[in-house]
Structure 1
């Protein structure tokens, strides 16, 4: 289970709408407590997908595929890891959008996902954020739906 506030959910939705028709992405910061992930902060990031990023991944991906791919720059991830450690927090997940597609993980999402993280996906239909779901990997590297609990 992942626990977050309406404000956190709104930050994700607003970022997703602002980047449409491209995918948005960002980092979920928080801590583990009582068998759930507690979100403290949602950190929108730039979708750094480009020709150089595409070259790191197999298959026929191009810079134009920002509408169907995302990547958070490695230096952003490293800097964030260092900063949150000083605040006694952790990176507990990643969020991204699926423009004009359901909030269901793609095969690419699954292949590059990390065990232990939550993956929140928001569907953006015609520029308007809608369905929002959270997923986590099981022991067989398959996504399973993760309950979302709103906190105040």
Structure 2
């Protein structure tokens, strides 16, 4: 993971809603998609909740393919894009895991990670999968993003 400089607008109300989902899902991981306007993919406008269909939701997440397909159709019709995903880490760690990096196939995709434990929200971090474009050279890594709430 390297330094920041990429600013993403994530309204506080959306961040709070996703954080509440993560807290309520503990000790399992929750997951879903982050949606933005196609003209401004750095501003998250809504999120889509997905079932976590992973074989072991206590340790990992997998977005339901039906939710993913339906969201792709929905965003296309509404002039939006799927800008990223969110999921929780029920172990208090909001840093991307090795598993997260190995599954981060899409260049430039945002990853919001919400850390929880039995007492509630521990923190969160927003990351961008680098390199930014699929044709860019260089090793795959996450870059921490700055969050603007307005």
TM-score scaled by structure 1?
0.84
What do you get for the CA RMSD once the two structures are aligned?
1.5
Q: Structure 1 residues 133 and 5, CA, compared in 2 at 3 Å: closer, same or farther?
A: same
Residue number in structure 1 paired with 2:4: none
Residue number in structure 1 paired with 2:67: 76
Question: Which whole-Å deviations, capped at 9, do the CAs of 1:130-151 have from their partners, x for residues lacking one?
Answer: 3110011222211111111101
CA–CA separation in structure 1 for the residues paired with 2:111 and 2:88: 10
SS in structure 2 at match of 1:116: coil
Q: 1:49 aligns with which of 54, 74, 96?
A: 54
Structure (1/2) with the larger helix percentage: 1
Residue number in structure 2 paired with 1:148: 147
The CA deviation at 1:45 is 1.4
Q: Does 1:124 align with 2:116?
A: yes
Residue number in structure 2 paired with 1:59: none
Is contact 1:11–1:42 with CA below 8 Å preserved after alignment? no
Could you tell me which runs of 5 or more consecutive residues in structure 1 were left unpaired when the two chains were aligned.
51-64
Q: 1:7 aligns with which of 6, 13, 17?
A: 13
The CA deviation at 1:11 is 1.2
Residue number in structure 1 paired with 2:125: 133
SS in structure 2 at match of 1:80: helix
CA–CA separation in structure 2 for the residues paired with 1:87 and 1:115: 23
Residue number in structure 2 paired with 1:91: 82
CA–CA separation in structure 1 for the residues paired with 2:38 and 2:126: 16
SS in structure 2 at match of 1:67: coil
SS in structure 1 at match of 2:14: helix
